[in-house]
Amino acid sequence: MKYGKLAALALLSGLAVSGGPGAANALTAEEVKSIAIDAYVYGYSLITTEVTRVQMTNVDKADGLRGPMGQFLNVKRYPPADYRGVSAPNADTLYSLAWIDLGKEPTVFSHPDMGSRYYLFPMYSLWMPVIESAGTRTTGEKAEKFLLTGPGWQGTVPAGMTQVKSPTRYMLILGRTYADGTEQDYEAVNALQGQFALRPLSQFGKHDWTFTPPPVNPDPGFSMTDKPQDVIVKLGTKGYFDMMGRLMCKDAPPAPEDAPIIARMAKIGVVPCKEFDLARFDPATRDALNKLPQEALDTIAAHRASLGRIADGWVISEVGDYGTDYMKRAVVGAFGWPANLDKDAVYPYTEVDSTGAKLSGAHKYTLTFAKGQEPPVDGFWSITMYEIDQGWWFVPNPLNKFTVSPRNNPVRNADGSLTLYFQNESPGEDKEANWLPAPKGPFLPMIRMYWPKETKPSILDGTWTPPRIVKVD
């Protein structure tokens, strides 16, 4: 078997440092546990993405957001008010999702001319960082063809195609296309979605090719319905590190900049291409390692603040590109999988008003943008209301309205400012265009800023932040 250079070096390092029967005993139980925590955090985004991939693609036909690898799954309408699937649902863009296997050959991804409609096609490796971000900001409105290639591919890129080099065998495209929520616009977007295409390079341009779903694995080794977090905990320590070793061997080789953590993990036997030998540790250390999954998840959860900064009560995430910040990558894997680049989208959210008190539909609030101080974007912005009940969910309301944005034609104040109303009951028919219906209990508003401006004032450098929400009763 051929290994990548880094994987081969790590394998040799693991054999040298921790292969002998007494090598594990050279480390204290505390040192072993510390290295194990670091290894667990390092691999969390990889394991999350792999579990999600299997859960979403190990089926024989498309059904909602599940479908065989190698074809697009297109969401045709926004979720209804009672939707309780993926937390923090979207009512601005329609999703188009595809998982791709680049193990045998490259795949050609093509989309039509998108006109003036905003769209975004972030592409993710198994490790979860964005490896390419096609869309209005980067590639413009014209039709495009991308050649998606896996690790080590050395062929010739056909004319008219842009190569996207995936560092992993499997990759994900999670596309978003703007829709205004009307039936007419849905149909226009659906027509575009029908032209998003994937085809193996060897079959590109052939008219007689038809898609054949890969076979379903009857025993994938874990639940197809449990939440990824729960699945990962149930893997146990050995199951988790065994999966890491298998994936890092060939399908998802570690990046060159990961060499220090790879060498550190090798000290306890977490090595590409090897199973994890839990039995070689003494009973006390084994007992500590067996508690690792939940303890590591708790550690990851405790670092949620690392996702960004807080400004005037608003949490502003800074994600999508992680380098060697493995903890931030793990936090996104656990609580925000995957994530856009900040240059494509930023989603500030808050749970507090201007005094720091928790937001609640028992009260009435306003949010006012001064004239010329609305969210600075080159794409579009909106604010989505979520009730907080074991997740972030749409709020059922008489208007069936989950967002407020310029597309609602809100009424401006005499001085040009814009005041929005966050409350449970209508502020009056004349103000309903400016109203974002809130639940009766706790709530969380999220601003979606697509393609935020890079020139000042900008949320990207902190020269613009959302105004505070003011309680008015």
What is the pLDDT, as a whole number, of residue 84? Answer: 86
In whole angstroms, give the CA distance from residue 120 to residue 135. 4
Reduced to 3 states (helix: H, G, I; strand: E, B; else coil), residue 145 is: strand
Distance CA 251, CA 77 (A): 34
DSSP assigned state of 134: E
Rg, C-alpha atoms of the chain: 24
Quote the tokens at residue 427.
């502020």
Residue 11 identity (one-letter amino acid): L
Specify whether the CB–CB gap between 105 and 419 falls below 8 A.
Answer: no
| CA gap 329, 395 in Å, rounded | 30
The amino acid occupying position 298 is D
Judge contact between 109 and 146, C-beta under 8 A: yes
Identify whether the C-beta of residue 284 lies closer than 8 Å to the C-beta of residue 55. no
Report whether 96 contacts 175 (CB < 8 A): yes
Average pLDDT of the chain is 93
Task: Please state, as a whole number, how many other Cβ atoms lie within 10 Å of the Cβ of residue 425.
Answer: 14
CA–CA dist 196, 175 (Å, integer): 10
Are the C-beta atoms of residues 164 and 123 closer than 8 Å to each other? yes
Token pair, residue 195, equals 């032209």
Q: What whole-number distance in Å separates Cα of residue 43 and Cα of residue 51? A: 12
- C-alpha–C-alpha distance, residues 117 and 169, integer Å: 31
In which residue ranges of the chain is pLDDT below 50?
Answer: 1-4, 7-22
pLDDT of residue 25: 57
Query: For 152-282, where are the alpha helices, taking DSSP H only?
Result: 183-193, 228-246, 259-266
Secondary structure of 351-369 as H, E, C letters:
CECCCCCECECCCCEEEEE
68-121 tens-digit pLDDT: 999 999 999 999 999 988 889 999 999 999 999 999 999 999 999 999 999 999
Amino acid at 84: R
Bridge partners of 64?
none
By DSSP bridging, strand 73-74 and strand 162-165 are unpaired
Domains of the chain: 5-52+220-301 (no CATH), 73-203 (2.60.40.1610), 307-471 (2.60.120.600)
How much is the pLDDT for 147?
Answer: 98
* Angstrom distances, CA of residue 165 to CA of 45, 106, 131, 132, 329: 19, 10, 8, 9, 20
Q: Which residues contact 397 (CB under 8 A, 6 or more apart)?
A: 81, 437
- The b-or-e profile of 111-148 (16+ CB within 10 A means b, else e) is bbebeeebbbbbbbbbbbbbbbbbbbbebeeeebbbbb
pLDDT at 24: 53
Reported as a single tens digit per residue, the pLDDT across 26-66 is 899 999 999 999 999 999 999 999 999 999 999 999 988 89
